[in-house]
Amino acid sequence: MDSVEVGLAKLAEIRECVDSIALDGAKFFDKGNKAAGVRARKALQDLKTLAQELRVAIQRCKTESAHARMMEQNAQYMESQNAYDLNAPLHMIDTTTATTGAHSTSTHVTHASHLPHGSV
- Give the range of the structural domain holding residue 23, as residue numbers without chain letter: 3-80
Give yes or no: residues 94 and 73 share one domain: no
- Taking the C-alpha atoms of 67, 71, 77 and 81 in order, what is their torsion angle to the nearest 10 degrees? 140
Predicted confidence at residue 77, as pLDDT, reads 82
Burial (CB count within 10 angstroms: exposed 0-12, middle 13-18, buried 19+), residue 90: exposed
* Alpha carbon distance 9, 59 (integer Å): 15
pLDDT at 84: 54
Contact between 61 and 92 under an 8 Å Cβ cutoff? The reply is no
Please check whether residues 19 and 55 belong to one and the same domain. yes
Residues 12 and 68 in one domain: yes
Residue 112 CB-half CA count within 13 A: 11
Compute the half-sphere exposure of residue 10: CA atoms within 13 Å on the CB side of its CA. Answer: 20
Residue 90 shares a structural domain with residue 64: no
Q: What is the pLDDT of residue 65?
A: 86
pLDDT at 114: 58
CA gap 25, 17 in Å, rounded:
12
pTM as predicted: 0.58
Both 8 and 60 in a single domain?
yes
Sites in the chain below the pLDDT cut of 50: none
pLDDT in tens, 29-52: 999 999 999 999 999 999 999 999
Q: What sections of the chain are H helices per DSSP?
A: 3-31, 34-80
47: left (phi over 0), alpha (psi -120 to 50) or beta: alpha
113 and 64 inside one domain: no
